[in-house]
Chains A and B, each alone.
Chain A
Amino acid sequence: MNAIADMDAPMLAVRNIEVIYNHVILALRGVSMQVSPRSIVALLGANGAGKSTTLKAISTLLASERGEVTKGSIEFRGQRTDRKTPGEMVAMGMVQVMEGRHCFAHLTVEENLLTGAYARRIKGAELKAELERIYAYFPRLKVRRTSLAGYTSGGEQQMTAIGRAMMARPGMLLLDEPSMGLAPQIVAEIFEIVRDLNQKEGVSILLAEQNTNVALKHADYAYVLESGRIMMEGPAAALAENPDVKEFYLGLSTEGRKSFRDVKTYRRRKQWV
Chain B
Amino acid sequence: MTNAVIKTMEVCRYFGEGETLVKAVEQVSITIEPGEFTAIIGPSGSGKSTLLHLVGGLDNPTSGVVELSGTNIANMSGAQISDFRRDHIGFVFQAYNLIPVLSAEENIEYIMLLQGIAGPARRQRVQEMLELVGLNDLGSRRPNQLSGGQQQRVAVARAMASHPDIILADEPTANLDSKTGIALLDVMKDLNETHNMTFVFSTHDEKIMSRASRLIHMEDGAVVHDERR
Partners in one complex: no
